[in-house]
Structure 1
């Protein structure tokens, strides 16, 4: 049997075994890399692994990662979500679907200051679900809007997953951030359209329309949106305007979050320490996964596996659209069992050469991939947002999955839209050139 085929089977088998045994993803990646390099190559494993771990862990671009995570953790511990609910509710209560739209826009706003899908979903969900239940909104739609909109934390900058993709694919993080903005707006519009349409066709299941709120009262309630709006505009605007790099913008974001927390008087010293320690733990976990994945990528590169597999796929003569369809199905299947960062680092060494060889723009593909990973956040059995909502609502996974299904389909529709109209993704990054 060909050595390359044996190596591929060993890599796949050992990866499935180690991940299935419950071992940490980073340790599993590192172990498979060592098995591959030690078993199928004469290269000095120890020195190569050590140098790869070092080289992949000190990059300047990675410094934005813990800063954006810390910014989100600080704001997570303030009254930001309650302020957003109070500010948005008077404007949205009279729309078809009523306060369900607060879930969608509230998640969009929270995503812009946390960069995390789980934090977005948990923060808005804890506030809105009891409020919506009290007002008589159908729980299925309350859960569904949260499940779908909670994933916006991956697409709207400062997205942690985009930073990981940018480092892995060696692409501009600033351009990736900007590229996600218009698709995120389209996805929010799709979510709101479906929610409004469902409400119009199921009026008997909806509560009475919210009472009319005069314009001046709505404007007065909107004052609570000003601080977070200014923070979002400053962080994203400084990147897009070329004033700051993503790392510098992340530092400014942390300062702004601390200022908001100070004036809101809702962040205790204990919560401050907890936010700092949580961001350190999360950042170390992500950085270790990236470094271990670099070791695995280096190991398989010694065997020339990525280029051989890419050549094998190219031998089928698949057009770019067919290749994207195959990759999309594969990512959705993998996403049933792994979270987003692991998906990117596990598949990048094989997937990215194929995409580059097909002539697909890597910035556009980054957004395409993030949308797929968004969808994987609400697919069983291991969709992370499903577990977050299960913890909040007490419902079983099947009920939450069924409620999230229409919003999963809206994400698939967004994939079709950005594939047919790639300028939705590329128009803003192209302006930065």
Structure 2
């Protein structure tokens, strides 16, 4: 019986999505259909109470604030300054300025929270500069597509906030847990760039100019605004001075100050950033509300419990389960964006994950990592869309050159599985 109900609801989901209805409304509609047809519960009351409950969650207030912070920074000279500060230090590294993509994305990820925003902001600055200096477009685009995904893994991360709310785990611990995996993944990306540069030395242009150590230090002054903002936002969370929501408010104030000091804060940029953040948050919030109601509906029907029992009945080893879920999310990522993937699946998967005794903080970072992979898989890879709009290249071309970095993300999943301390060490250390 449950199999037929599941098949029917999945079919309803894809039919409604395929007709062009917004994802949030689709989720609400499917939940309504499920409750009306397969339970005796009063649908209207349940829907109103669930939507109000999820909308009034205090934890969720961090989300629009971090989105707004990213929108403000998107409209400043911050990214341009980052390039000026980083470039002099990379002349002796194989691959030279190609590393500005990866390091720039790593730094900006720590003040953004969105993969697309990180990819677009850094790409707007690095791609023209790299093209002007004669770096091959293929490797420039490939490394940017992969490194842009760090916007999800390195805190603050919008996906982590969504997962934390749904799984009822500490968002601060999720943020802390994402730091080491993010740095290691950035290191893997840089390692790939170094290997590529050593294998193709003729394709890497010579250094622009030789600067003395003191000149390099002087150029690094351009990094002061972004480093100050990172220290303020993440430092306040890690030291326990502020909650994730308070740190997000601090980030908004800090980014407004930076924009003001740089001369980028006009009434127009303020309104544009506020409206851009509001639009994006309303879209995410509608998906979250619909997902909360769908989760309730699935719970009344009993699907999560039956699915958990079925998966446990398969007697999969933890590694086999993680492998299956990795493939599942990569396939799902071909059709849905990251937030939709998390909210659609968590209500069903979390009982199974808890039954298998996975640490929910570790599982949250795993989910973020596989959602990262989905950002560079066609046809619905958001980073691919961003880069296609910026470069006018075919999505297949971009995906092909991002594929080596996709493989490195798979390697990172294996590393995290066999060495879970990569995720758990820092949160435990911070507690201590």
TM-score normalised by structure 2 residue count = 0.98
1:211-237 Cα distance to aligned partner (Å, 9 max, x none): 321111111110010111011011101
Q: Which of 328, 348, 351 is 1:350 aligned to? A: 348
1:395-414 alignment to 2 at 5 Å?
Answer: 395-414=393-412
Q: CA deviation at 1:210?
A: 4.0
Query: What's 2:23 paired with?
Result: 25
Alpha-carbon displacement from aligned partner over 1:60-81 (angstroms, at most 9, x marks no partner): 1001111111111111100000
Does residue 420 in structure 1 map to residue 396 in structure 2?
no
Q: What's the offset of the Cα at 1:187?
A: 0.5
How many Å separate the matches in 2 of 1:99 and 1:20?
A: 43
Q: Distance in 1 between matches of 2:7 and 2:201?
A: 55
Match of 1:248 in 2: 246
Distance across 2 between alignment mates of 1:124 and 1:8: 42
Q: How far is the alpha carbon of 1:310 from its aligned partner?
A: 0.6
The equivalences for 1:28-427 within 5 A come to: 28-427=26-425
CA distance in 2, matches of 1:375, 1:213: 38
Q: Number of paired residues? A: 431
Task: Measure the CA separation in 2 of the matches of 1:370 and 1:213.
Answer: 39
Runs of 5+ consecutive residues of structure 1 not aligned to the other structure: none
Q: Distance in 2 between matches of 1:210 and 1:191?
A: 23
Cα deviation for residue 420 of structure 1 reads 0.9
Off by >6 Å, runs of 4+ in structure 1: none
Give me the whole-angstrom Cα distance separating, in 1, the residues matched to 2:347 and 2:72. Answer: 35
**Secondary structure of the structure 1 residue equivalent to 2:95:** coil
Task: State the Cα RMSD in Å.
Answer: 0.9
Please give the TM-score of this superposition, normalised by the length of structure 1: 0.98
Q: d(CA) in 2 for partners of 1:322 and 1:396?
A: 35
1:303-350 deviations in Å (ceiling 9; x for gaps): 111011110111111111111111111011001110100000101111
* Counterpart contact for 1:94–1:210, Cα < 8 Å: no
User: SS of 1:99's equivalent?
Assistant: helix
Secondary structure at the aligned position of 1:158 is classed as: coil
**Larger deviation: 211-220 or 256-265?**
211-220
In structure 2, the residue corresponding to 1:105 is in which secondary structure?
Answer: helix
> Contact 2:133–2:205 at 8 Å: present in 1 too?
yes
Query: Structure 1 CA distance, aligned partners of 2:188 and 2:208?
Result: 23
Which whole-Å deviations, capped at 9, do the CAs of 1:95-147 have from their partners, x for residues lacking one?
10010001100011111111111111111111111111111111110001100
1:409 & 1:291 partners in 2: Cα distance? 34
